[in-house]
Chains A and B, each alone.
Chain A
Amino acid sequence: MASEQRANEVLKGLCDGVVAFDEETVGKFSKAAVEEGVDAYDAITKGLAHGMGKVGELYAAHEYFVPELLLCADALYVGLDILRPHLKRSDSGKSARRIVLGVAEGDVHDIGKNLVKIMFDAAAWEVYDLGKDVPLGSFVEEQQRTNADVVGVSALMATSMLAMPEVTRMIKTRNPNVVVMLGGAPLTREIARSYGADGYADNAGEAVREAVRLVEVIK
């Protein structure tokens, strides 16, 4: 079992490795976590996810852009692939949060949604990604199938925004306790609210924080 000091070194190494998009470093510290008995859940949430949180801040500050985010995600997934099999059964209760994600019908711009997916993966949520140009009914069906806490719908085009109030209504009619979050360049918090959504985020990092907050409020 690693000492507290060593565990902190490992967590810092994971975090820094993700921020530096250094797959080798993340791989090294992920294996170290497994071999030295650092709790896998802590390694994911306090190491990898913490790193992705910093990456999100760098993106919001226009220091990192999409190519850098994708490299950081590659490093993140190196770590997740090593650590996830070592999560204890009891860890599943710590984050029994599920999200269905997709790009609204008529729209195929999915980079933003993919970045959001990465953030939720990093935060140890179960993510059900429906992809792009998703028929409205599929959001409802997938939420029912997975019992997801949150449904996230994104759109880049103004025309696809028209789908959002309808899909929000469809989800809420079936289950009023599901959190619906909307995102995408043409949206604002006010527009999302006017569409009946519970939440909105204007960047991937913020999306996870908003989802956590809303799930706690509604549940």
Chain B
Amino acid sequence: MHIVVCIKQVPDSAQIRVHPVHNTIMRQGVPAIINPYDLFALEEALRLKDRYGGFVTVLCMGPSQADAALRKALSFGADDAILVSDRAFAGSDTLATSYALAAAVKQIHRDMPVDLVFAGKQTIDGDTAQVGPGIAKRLGLQLLTYVAKIAALDLEQREITIHRRAEGGVQLLKTELPCLVTVLEGINEMRFATMDDMFRAARHPLKIWDKAAAGIEDLGKIGLKGSPTVVSKVFAPQPKARKADVIETHGNTPKDLAATLVTKLFSHHPQIERQIAGMAS
């Protein structure tokens, strides 16, 4: 069994700050991490490997410093790591990215047939969830998104059964291998890297593929040229300011503040009073 796990190195968006004057992202000092959703995908692949045996290849498209993400992935137990990196990828939107990654997966498949492609449900910097579906479509793979659980895998029959999160419930879907799976957060709990794997990761020769090595044929489909979407404006949100009515009382005891608020709220917003009176237990 051979699983390719697509990962992305992203800035930790929880720590991103916007420069108050220039309105640009202040990237300095913001740590680069493996996209957290991709870690769930990696762990799921490693669990299948634990169970069925096989090979896990981690694939990443990014700048040269993304090699750190790949080494981290290796330290959890991935067998091989490939960084697809080329200046020509600069400015890629999701369509151009899925083109490049699909080409790389095809290339990987030539060396060792791929049974499953895994990815996290989305990235924390782009947040689009579009690249997984894009790769599946380009490779003619069945697409299973928002997978909460892998219920069964039959390598003989080449079938996989999963739980997919829908709006009001869960779909139990069955499909054929090879296919592409994007996983939900919480599908598993990440393992700890073992000392052996960490040493192995540090020594492992990473494969670094430029566009030619990745098997990319149509240069018009990568980078800015291959990106239908263009960013025409980037700006800090300028949310409208509203002057809040500050509740204050003489003494400001919680009891007084609460009473004042309730009175004010209901006298200015009778419909809210009606709503609450109608609903409350």
Say whether A associates with B: no
Interface residues of A (CB under 8 A from B): none
